[in-house]
A and B are shown apart, each in its own frame.
Chain A
């Protein structure tokens, strides 16, 4: 193939390139973005004949270096991130070596691929809209390649029409295309640090900042009634190890090779609660489960510390079913190791206080500590003063203003110092029930920390020190605890109640949309598909069922195709009303039994009609006169045209030779 120079029209390729990259800005490494921008700029300048093309040897070096760098940056050879990076680099390098007419199509197709894969990283409604717009844009540019003279407007029209026609087909395919459970090959774990939700370290301020985030962390669908707010503790993470400043799990949370199995047995007292929980992408490092999970469905397993873990590192929203007990005994297994660990030094005041309690029964110690919190007028606040050093002592004995993490952390330290096994649990508490969908919505702002202590013979018991100072936080949830002006959604200051209500209603409505999106688009799984097929009586798993599905797709596809064909091939409406009228006139003549030759002009035709059917003569003559006037006079009267159309429309010649009066006649009334 001969090398070609870029035409001015080729600069629109940069548009496709940029649009497809834009969807990946959130996760691509900065150096790749810079590289792509540089390549795009170079291409632009080259197309203006301002710079030469990059020499071949340099391109080769760039290619090798870029691929190596992409692999090194993501640390893998396969997977989402490295794949997207490679595609972006491939596009940039293609721009640098542009020189064949087939390169245009190559660039457009790869851009299309890239813009669709953006949905692997951000599964949101806006991103889906963006991907559709992006595909439309790129396909428009593809059409432009095929046009005789580039005409972007008509290319866009063509593309839009095609895509709109394809929508129903896509929807049907989406619903009936068989879903395969589990991936084909190992799914890459999301990049570390991408999470904006709970982290596995509880340092002062770590949950505090979440309080201002309205983003949804999880949605829960209970099989039975929704438990009351004070029972809605969702445990996501257990922290056993304290270093004086922060709490950490104390064991590797994300061990690749399997997870520690649960060691304790649970004795259910309250009766089981079944539910299904959908955790959002940003929060899936830890799966929250209602206190205490006893069983979890296929893709999740129970693990050490009564936690639920995904079987494989999840990539995006994760949904599982679980069964929990709200009142339970965790059994008489021995005292947990690690649950008394404390750093060697630090918080002397707390140690002194706890030392006074040593030897009392554990329940008494717990009550004493809770009484202290109630008595000493601790303040529950979202904006506590910063604690630089000795956070435990300063919180307990000086500032006494804190948030759940301060209470839980200090309480656990006191318990350990007094010899009661204790640990900190992080998760979500409360949540909001969406009246439209009856889902319980857990937002990031519902993140909460509390304590568990271990009693001999009874096992782990939840103690929430925050409830001692702010019972509303537990009974009514975040909304009630803090006045509306504290919520990030409303501007600071006195917002009228109806505004708050409106905002809340809007949030609930948005959440309903999101839930639908979640249920029917994001989480449309094999199981849900089966439910739908069952409802449609198409759930036979044998070849007949498969045949039925394939049949639906085919019938729909061919149906749309057929409709489109019919629409296109519908009797061609002539744009000229006069010719249309005359065609109708001739058709009616034929129907009346008068076949007229095509060559006959208006006068010949008139003569023939008079000879064959004198009864039709007058009207037909009038019509033909009008036609002649319209066709053969220099400036025909537009009124004549209307008259002709009206006459022809009302002219219904009968078959036969009897001199019957045509019905309708010549009434010129009100047409």
Chain B
């Protein structure tokens, strides 16, 4: 470990080589210390072919075939440079991914910037995924989509991106593993069958039923407020955008879904039932709260609240 750190500080290239990946602040620009290059299987075949031609040249003492062998060998040799250049100077700007439910395919959008030369054939993939092909014009940026199946809830970290190319002759493969530290939130898979929401409400004495929409008054519009709650008449009176707000407090809530009362064989099953319940509640536009052990979400409505609830469900018990 100490040695590792020492190497990392003194010889970044060797460190990269040992790690096999390039981490660091985004955007990651690929330079010679991040790019590896080796012959492909086709390259080895090509080499054997040239060797056979060389033996023929020697045997027949034929200078013309000699020359052609040297020309082809030189071309193959210089193609290493072209292959390397295909990656050199490419920058990985970052990754984006929308949260998904476990069992679905998370689509990572990897943003790559060409720099000042064109990129003819880049193959991007994460470990164990199919490759996605990209070609970029000089100065352009492209979003490459890589799909990866999300197996379980929590943060999915696919690790470094594998960027590789075999351009131009397919005789050599250059690759690099920049690590944008991509991650995506995976929500628990919602249970297939919905349980009545009543079964899942909290049993604590704190909860008492209050009509969920107890009108509190008007407040200034905040982005994200649902249009159904905007006081349009006030707008018509040129009083600006205002929103009708409703009481919701920790003590006074409508529906509070509680992990503790959710039936299920194990934690995962209970979480997935709860996820289904949260989705149902959102689907029927009910305000709901959520209690996951120590975590408590005040009852509320709307997309933002749903996402917060799903995030809490996804990360429950994972720090």
Co-complex (A, B): yes
**B74 and A123 within 8 A (CB):** no
Q: How far is the CA of A494 from the CA of B142 in the complex (A)?
A: 73
By beta carbon, the residue of chain A nearest B82 is: A162
Residues of B within 8 Å of A572, CB to CB, are 116
Is B49 interfacial (CB-CB < 8 Å)? yes
Q: How far is the CA of A488 from the CA of B1 in the complex (A)?
A: 87
How many residues on chain B are close to A (CB under 8 Å)?
Answer: 46
Is A356 interfacial (CB-CB < 8 Å)? no
Q: Mark B48-84, 1 if CB is under 8 A from A, else 0.
A: 0100110110111111111111111111011101100
**B70 and A146 within 8 A (CB):** no
By beta carbon, the residue of chain B nearest A131 is: B68
Q: How far is the CA of A565 from the CA of B84 in the complex (A)?
A: 10
**Cβ-defined partner of A132 (8 Å) among B68, B78, B121:** B68
Distance from B62 Cβ to chain A, minimum over Cβ atoms (Å): 6
Is A120 interfacial (CB-CB < 8 Å)? yes
Q: Mark A104-145, 1 if CB is under 8 A from B, else 0.
A: 010001001100110110010001100110010001001101
Residues of A within 8 Å of B61, CB to CB, are 179-183, 525
Residues of B within 8 Å of A564, CB to CB, are 78, 81
Is B120 interfacial (CB-CB < 8 Å)? yes
Q: How far is the CA of A120 from the CA of B65 in the complex (A)?
A: 7
By beta carbon, the residue of chain B nearest A186 is: B59
User: Interface residues of B: mostly helix, strand, loop or mixed?
Assistant: helix
Q: How far is the CA of A159 from the CA of B114 in the complex (A)?
A: 22
Residues of B within 8 Å of A166, CB to CB, are 71-75, 77-78
**B62 and A123 within 8 A (CB):** yes
Distance from B277 Cβ to chain A, minimum over Cβ atoms (Å): 45
Is A80 interfacial (CB-CB < 8 Å)? yes
Is A568 interfacial (CB-CB < 8 Å)? yes
Residues of A within 8 Å of B135, CB to CB, are 147-149
Is A436 interfacial (CB-CB < 8 Å)? no
Is A557 interfacial (CB-CB < 8 Å)? yes
Q: How far is the CA of A392 from the CA of B192 in the complex (A)?
A: 111
By beta carbon, the residue of chain B nearest A172 is: B70
Is A297 interfacial (CB-CB < 8 Å)? no
**A146 and B169 within 8 A (CB):** yes
Q: Mark A169-202, 1 if CB is under 8 A from B, else 0.
A: 1110110010111111101000000000000000
Is B168 interfacial (CB-CB < 8 Å)? yes
**B166 and A146 within 8 A (CB):** yes
Segment at the B interface, from A42-50, A210-218, A516-524, A637-645: A516-524
- Supposing A564-B78, A565-B81 touch, asked if A174 and B63 sit within 8 A by C-beta, the answer is yes
**B68 and A116 within 8 A (CB):** yes
**B63 and A521 within 8 A (CB):** yes
Distance from B85 Cβ to chain A, minimum over Cβ atoms (Å): 6
**A120 and B60 within 8 A (CB):** yes
**Cβ-defined partner of A131 (8 Å) among B63, B64, B116, B167:** B64
**B121 and A146 within 8 A (CB):** yes
Report which residue of A113, A165, A170, A173 has the largest number of chain B beta carbons within 10 angstroms of its beta carbon. Answer: A170
Residues of B within 8 Å of A170, CB to CB, are 67, 70-71, 73-74
Residues of A within 8 Å of B66, CB to CB, are 174, 177
Is B45 interfacial (CB-CB < 8 Å)? yes
Q: How far is the CA of A244 from the CA of B214 in the complex (A)?
A: 133
Is A315 interfacial (CB-CB < 8 Å)? yes
**B170 and A162 within 8 A (CB):** no
By beta carbon, the residue of chain A nearest B48 is: A109
Residues of B within 8 Å of A162, CB to CB, are 75, 78-79, 82, 168-169
**B63 and A184 within 8 A (CB):** no
Residues of B within 8 Å of A113, CB to CB, are 49, 52-53
Q: How far is the CA of A524 from the CA of B63 in the complex (A)?
A: 7
**A163 and B75 within 8 A (CB):** yes
Distance from B296 Cβ to chain A, minimum over Cβ atoms (Å): 42
How many residues on chain A are close to B (CB under 8 Å)?
Answer: 62
Residues of A within 8 Å of B75, CB to CB, are 139, 162-163, 166
**A173 and B70 within 8 A (CB):** yes
Distance from B48 Cβ to chain A, minimum over Cβ atoms (Å): 10
**Cβ-defined partner of A183 (8 Å) among B52, B60, B70, B85:** B60
Which B residues, 227 to 253, have Cβ-Cβ distances below 8 Å to chain A? none
- Supposing A113-B52, A148-B121 touch, asked if A119 and B116 sit within 8 A by C-beta, the answer is no
Is B42 interfacial (CB-CB < 8 Å)? yes
Is A226 interfacial (CB-CB < 8 Å)? no
Is A158 interfacial (CB-CB < 8 Å)? yes
Is A561 interfacial (CB-CB < 8 Å)? yes
Distance from A180 Cβ to chain B, minimum over Cβ atoms (Å): 5
Is B152 interfacial (CB-CB < 8 Å)? no
Q: Mark A524-558, 1 if CB is under 8 A from B, else 0.
A: 11000000000000000000000000000000010
Which A residues, 312 to 334, have Cβ-Cβ distances below 8 Å to chain B? 315-316
Q: How far is the CA of A181 from the CA of B88 in the complex (A)?
A: 45
Q: Mark A145-156, 1 if CB is under 8 A from B, else 0.
A: 111110000110
- Supposing A560-B78, A561-B78, A564-B78 touch, asked if A116 and B53 sit within 8 A by C-beta, the answer is yes
Residues of B within 8 Å of A171, CB to CB, are 70
Q: How far is the CA of A113 from the CA of B46 in the complex (A)?
A: 10
Is B316 interfacial (CB-CB < 8 Å)? no
**A174 and B67 within 8 A (CB):** yes
Is A30 interfacial (CB-CB < 8 Å)? no
Q: How far is the CA of A599 from the CA of B134 in the complex (A)?
A: 32
**Cβ-defined partner of B67 (8 Å) among A128, A143, A184, A561:** A128
Is B109 interfacial (CB-CB < 8 Å)? no
Q: How far is the CA of A569 from the CA of B88 in the complex (A)?
A: 9
- Supposing A139-B75, A524-B63 touch, asked if A109 and B45 sit within 8 A by C-beta, the answer is yes
Is B133 interfacial (CB-CB < 8 Å)? yes
Q: How far is the CA of A179 from the CA of B54 in the complex (A)?
A: 11
Is A167 interfacial (CB-CB < 8 Å)? yes
Q: How far is the CA of A147 from the CA of B67 in the complex (A)?
A: 28
Residues of A within 8 Å of B52, CB to CB, are 113
Residues of B within 8 Å of A575, CB to CB, are 139
Distance from B1 Cβ to chain A, minimum over Cβ atoms (Å): 36
Distance from B88 Cβ to chain A, minimum over Cβ atoms (Å): 8
Q: How far is the CA of A569 from the CA of B81 in the complex (A)?
A: 12
**B58 and A163 within 8 A (CB):** no
**B42 and A105 within 8 A (CB):** yes
Residues of A within 8 Å of B168, CB to CB, are 143, 146, 155, 158-159, 162
Task: Give the top 6 A-B pairs by smallest Cβ distance, nearest first.
Answer: A166-B74, A148-B135, A169-B74, A173-B70, A170-B70, A119-B64
Other than the given A109-B46, A135-B72, 4 more pairs (CB < 8 A) read: A80-B60, A119-B62, A170-B71, A174-B70
| Selected A-B contacts with CB under 8 Å, 10 pairs | A112-B49, A139-B169, A142-B169, A180-B58, A183-B58, A183-B61, A315-B60, A561-B78, A568-B81, A575-B139
